Chains A and B, each alone.
Chain A
Amino acid sequence: MVDIAFGPEPGPRPKADDPAAHYMELTRRRRLYGTILLVFFIATMASGFHLAEERNAGGFFSGLPMVFAFPSEVVAEAWEKRANLPGLFWSYLPSLIETLNIAAVSTLIGGALAVIMALLSSPGLSPWPRLTPVLRRIMDASRAVPEIVIALILIYILGPGPVPAVIAIAIHTTGALGKLFSEAAENSDMKPVEGLTSVGANWMQRMGLGILPQVAPNWLSYGLMRLEINVRASAILGFVGSGGIGYDLKIAMQWGLGRYDQVVAIFLLLFLAIAVIDRLSDNARARLVKG
């Protein structure tokens, strides 16, 4: 009723005398747009794959039969030396623990920084609202830099080891979790904060007693999800840079034939660790969300 004051909406008016024809026309036009979009999408995908294929060292169809060649070669050799596997598991356990430690420590550090960033960058919660856009851009940038870039540069400065990987993953985690945390904090109920303000609580108390209890389950759940991602990232960083089981995998792979039992041992350890952590964090998250 009120909208009448603003006049009719822009665009063609429905034909009041023949709604069926109008509906059919609308449907046909939507189908046409959909088809054009689909054709465009398929053409892009096809030409993209063609281009990627041209710029690749090996072709797709020539490589396809080879997909299982390497795994079967590896598994065959490992099967011959299957007696070594338990010993190898044991010897690679410290590397696996290092990889998991890298993931856990970087999640903790990044999570702690993300809490600070999130509270400072949520309008309505931040003590310095003018800072929020700056902090948001910082988080965007730290999310955009791939971990590998920071890790490789830090390896040059700090030398090979787990610390560059921790810093690299922690920076990325700060950006990624900071965004999710601040979204959760913005949607929280402001009444407890107002209540605390009225009794003279300072900012720390308002956040700790008013906001934190509301968002803790959500934040913990996001943090666990990040931990799963970071375990994988830590393994990959080990492979490209140094530290943890990823590095052992690279060494074993470079050796090639003759050490495939080690490759299989590392694959299995990594697979099991990721599966166990995923399962544990899935269960914990389900409990957190359902209360």
Chain B
Amino acid sequence: MTITGIAAIGAGLAAIGAGVGIGKIGGSAMEAMARQPEMHGKIQSSALILAAFVEAVALFGVVVAFLQG
């Protein structure tokens, strides 16, 4: 397997990790919003920020894969 193929697998693994993370954030945010609809705005903005943090790690993976590929 070439280094490009391994890099692609690495990017895929990073995407799986980020998917799990963002899924958990989204799920918990939905639950919280359903329980306390009046906090909708605050929960939404904190969920977006947290999703950005998780996503950044996946994007590091993508960038490394790009550099290798």
Partners in one complex: no
